Structure 1
């Protein structure tokens, strides 16, 4: 029988940190430690799960080769890439008129 590494799934902190860009690792560690401290209280255990889920999604997104370009397009609302909600969602203007 050979020993194989355990697979803790996508919410494994070691897997997450390994997939993160170097510049984001310290922020992950801070968030993770804060959530670990909170998890000592049973009713706050979900905070740890949420932190791991969020950082898993970030690591997945950051791993895409076009992530930086796509993020910039989203920040600027590049019309070559994004369609305004008023054009894409029927009745959007009526929905938002009441919110103003």
Structure 2
């Protein structure tokens, strides 16, 4: 019997996966935040912050992938429609 490779879906929180799924315009911001978080991850609190950052950017990649993202983004910026405030959507990011 020969061993067959097991196909695994890529981890959506993998920084390379996130980077590759982001639009070009968002990649520099992601990389800057990611590198800062990696530098801070040498202590336990920083490690948790890195995990939170990757989760947040994973969610952003999902948002960016929607065809109507740009229009929804502009609507939010101009107060059009009803949306959940960021501190409710991401309670772990509260300062």
Q: Same fold (TM over 0.5)?
A: yes
Greater shift, 38-47 or 24-33, is seen at 38-47
Look up the match of 2:74. 72
Distance of aligned partners of 1:76 and 1:35 in 2 relative to their CA distance in 1, 3 Å threshold: same
2: CA distance, partners of 1:76 / 1:70: 10
Distance of aligned partners of 1:29 and 1:2 in 2 relative to their CA distance in 1, 3 Å threshold: farther
* Paired residues for 1:8-27 under 5 Å: 9-27=11-29
Structure 2 length-normalised TM: 0.73
Distance of aligned partners of 1:53 and 1:44 in 2 relative to their CA distance in 1, 3 Å threshold: same
CA-atom RMSD, angstroms? 1.8
Deviation at 1:54, TM superposition (A): 1.1
Structure 1 length-normalised TM: 0.69
